[in-house]
Amino acid sequence: MWSFLVYSSLGVLPIFAIMIAVTDPTGKKKKPTGYEEVLKKTLGDKYGSVPQERIDMFNKILSSGNLLENRGEVGDALRFLVDNYGMNTDSLTKNIVDYNVERKDLGMFGSAAEKAKIMAGMKVMGFNNGGVLDMEEGDPKKESTGYAALDARLARMAEQAQSDSIPMSNYLDQEGRRNIQRFYESSDNPMADSGFAKGLYGISNAAMIDATRAGVIPEGADVTNPDVNLRVRNYMLDAIADKEWIKSPPKPISEANRLSRIYGAYNFGPKKFLDQLEKAKAAGANIYSDNPADYLNFQDSSGDYDGYFFPKETRDYSGVLSGSMKADKSRLSEELYNKYYNQK
């Protein structure tokens, strides 16, 4: 496990929860992070002109997570931003979806479900000229039938996302990656302690400090608490995923390749992983291959690890969690292995 210093905010928030910048004692807004950045990206230069009390109210309403029950208040908050600052709600929707897709590590169908859910919420509040879409024809319906249709549609999309969230992978979805990673990091033991990293996802003390400073976890949080450990894990993955060589590489990469880089860097450390990736490329490896095993298992006399460019632990970890190779059966429970591998 590794640690790094990134001062950005994350947290586990509802889909429409937009965390808005607070002010410091000087009255200046702090640099927006997480969902704050989503709102700033949507409003652009106008973001700095929004009254703090409006921002706080907007944040409080949307952070409740129950968009439909609070749609009147939410709609008023959005209309204030639209009427006074020209906010484009289509852009807001896109920016929220983009952020959640990256933060939640969603794949193709998971992204579609996220987009449908947010767009439907906008329509309920009267934006984009409609109510809730009927799942068959897309015609506005009364709320009583529209909500039921939407719920059924999203349930099917979510179910599909659970099995197909990595386009090229035959093995793991988002939940699967979390489950397998726990076993690879700690044998699913929340009290695990390697001497450097602790808890279910192998979180270091430095990572805990970073997450505390970013407001992801409270001061003095217990690393062995499963929820705390998961929050820091998500925070770390988000920070890695935001690196240019992962989110915007010189050439397009598949979802499996992207995931291999994210989890490889989580295991080996971002800087070390990137250094070895560049060395492998210079030696002739196709680091943009749709199948990450092509570069993970590439060998050359210049390789630092018996001809390989990554240590075996990182090769296995990255390959398994990207879905490009099966997990080691001895490292998982029989139930978990059968769930993700024996049914394929």
Q: What total number of domains does the chain contain?
A: 2
Residues forming beta bridges with residue 198, ordered by sequence position? 193, 203
88 and 228 assigned to the same domain: no
Residue 323 bridge partners (DSSP): none
Residue 151: partners with Cβ closer than 8 Å, 6 or more residues away: none
Specify the pLDDT at position 249.
95
Final residue in a domain of this structure, among 107, 135, 164: 164
E strand intervals along the chain: 197-198, 203-204
pLDDT (0 to 100) of residue 117? 67
Are 143 and 60 in the same domain? yes
The answer on 179 and 150 residing in a single domain is: no
In 3D space, the residue among 180, 196, 192 whose CA is nearest the CA of residue 332 turns out to be 180
| Boundary of a domain, candidates 136, 164, 192 | 164
Q: What is the pLDDT of residue 111?
A: 60
Residue-number span of the structural domain to which 287 is assigned? 174-342
pTM score, two decimals? 0.54
Residues 186 and 86 in one domain: no
Same domain, 186 and 310: yes
User: Do 153 and 193 belong to one domain?
Assistant: no
Question: pLDDT tens digits, the chain, 344 residues: what are they?
Answer: 554 443 333 333 343 343 333 444 445 555 655 567 777 888 888 888 888 777 777 666 666 555 555 666 777 777 888 888 888 887 887 877 777 666 666 554 456 666 666 666 666 566 654 323 333 333 333 333 444 444 454 444 444 433 333 333 456 888 899 999 999 999 999 999 999 999 999 999 999 999 999 999 999 999 999 999 999 999 999 999 999 999 999 999 998 999 999 999 999 999 999 999 999 999 999 999 999 999 999 999 999 999 999 999 999 999 999 988 999 999 999 999 998 888 54
42 and 90 belong to one structural domain: yes
Residue 28 domain-assigned (yes or no): no
Q: Choose one of 164, 187, 210: the last residue of a domain.
A: 164
Nearest alpha carbon to residue 253 among 296, 287, 298: 287
